[in-house]
Amino acid sequence: MNRRTFLINAAAATAIATRAKELQAGKRKKKTVGIVGCGRMGQYYADVYRLLPDTELVAIAEWNDDRRPVVGKRFGVSALYKDVNSMLREVVPDIVAVITPTKFMKEAVIASAEAGVKGISTDKPIAARLSDADAMVDACVKNNVVFAGGNLQRAMWQVQHAARRLDAGEFGTRTGAAMHGFGGEISGGGCQHISVLRLFADAEVEEVIAWASPEEALQGETDEGLNINGRFRMTSGLECQVYGLTHTHGDKKNRSGVDLWTDDAMISWSWGPPKIFQGTDANGNRKEIDPHYPPHPEPGVVKGAGLGDSHYLVTSILSLLDAVETGSKLWISGHDLRQALEVAIACKLSAQLGNQAVKLPLKDRSLSLHPRPYRWLGGDAIGQPQTAEEASEKKS
């Protein structure tokens, strides 16, 4: 481990220790939390907030009449409401987690911001129409509310650690990037790719050139089944090649993830802790090195919430709590989710225009890209409901 890595690890350890001491000494006031949308994903949020030592789950808004009393009993919450407005008339928590289907996020985020909460988080994708995402971000800025993203791998402990080392110059100058497996749903799951790319590149996407297939997906209203190949140019001048799900290297189907390389190394994220390659082996191939990632700050919460390897929800929430408490930078923000939506819209637009270059930010904020029905409307609305019995059971 070199000195730069040691210092970054030491800073992370110090931050964890400081937070623990502040909690023990009572210097951090426990934050009250309300969950808006306590379906399958919302229940993971509720579990994390219930288990963290510096939060108290005080209210749940859940539109499903059968599920509402069940989740209230499961999480020990008596303040139960059908919608966000009825909740906010009686309870204004410090933190509101909006985990509704995408169609209903805008109303809940703006209502919470105007009610006087301190921090709001939502999940992916943030909206279908770009102007709706703008309205959410603007409402939070206007009301001085911290607006966070949610369960995205950009907030993974190791992803953030790798990015800090890139920013510190440990691996030299950034020289190129590639995004792999960009398809299936480019505004839904695809926002994971775009968010990690922007973090590793430390830059915004300023131009998109894209090809899309199949034709029926390109002409559809949603991002479902859309496969993208193309090129992004970043504001830093960095070029990122974009490969879809069907791109192959020889007889191997393309993987999914983001690579960023420097003049000395390559950081490779593929739905987990990033691998770091530095130097070459005897055959001239890139050599994987020990990344020396520090331990997760809340392993007990990860285990208690039944998250398994999906521990980035916990670090996303910790980042929000720190931002509300100290003004620190969010690891995943509402702005990040808006940028991911804008890039996805630009990709489809470029392909529809015959692979023309599309400049960002987009001037037409009425442009939209709907996610698949499950993300847009939720499982209850499309015939994939969660039963009350399922909602009563703790995840394992």
Asked if the structure places residue 348 within a domain, the reply is yes
> Domain limits at 258?
173-294+334-366
Number of folded domains that form the chain: 1
Asked if the structure places residue 382 within a domain, the reply is no
In this predicted structure, what is the pLDDT of residue 308?
A: 78
Each residue's pLDDT tens digit, 7-54: 555 555 556 556 666 666 666 789 999 999 999 999 999 999 999 999
In this predicted structure, what is the pLDDT of residue 250?
A: 47
pLDDT surpasses 50 at 251 = no
DSSP-derived 3-state class of residue 244 = coil
Asked if the structure places residue 102 within a domain, the reply is no
Asked if the structure places residue 318 within a domain, the reply is no
- The domain that contains 227 carries what CATH number? 3.30.360.10
Each residue's pLDDT tens digit, 306-354: 887 768 999 999 999 999 999 999 999 999 999 999 999 999 999 999 9
pLDDT surpasses 70 at 249 = no
Task: Look over the chain and give the mean of its residue pLDDT values, rounded to a whole number.
Answer: 91
DSSP letters of 321-372? Answer: HHHHHH-PPPSSBHHHHHHHHHHHHHHHHHHHTTS--EESS-S-TT-B-B--
pLDDT surpasses 80 at 376 = yes
Asked if the structure places residue 48 within a domain, the reply is no
Asked if the structure places residue 196 within a domain, the reply is yes
Asked if the structure places residue 28 within a domain, the reply is no
pTM over 0.75: yes
- Higher pLDDT: 6 or 237? It is 237
Each residue's pLDDT tens digit, 272-309: 999 999 988 888 888 999 999 998 888 888 888 888 77
In this predicted structure, what is the pLDDT of residue 248?
A: 47
Asked if the structure places residue 112 within a domain, the reply is no
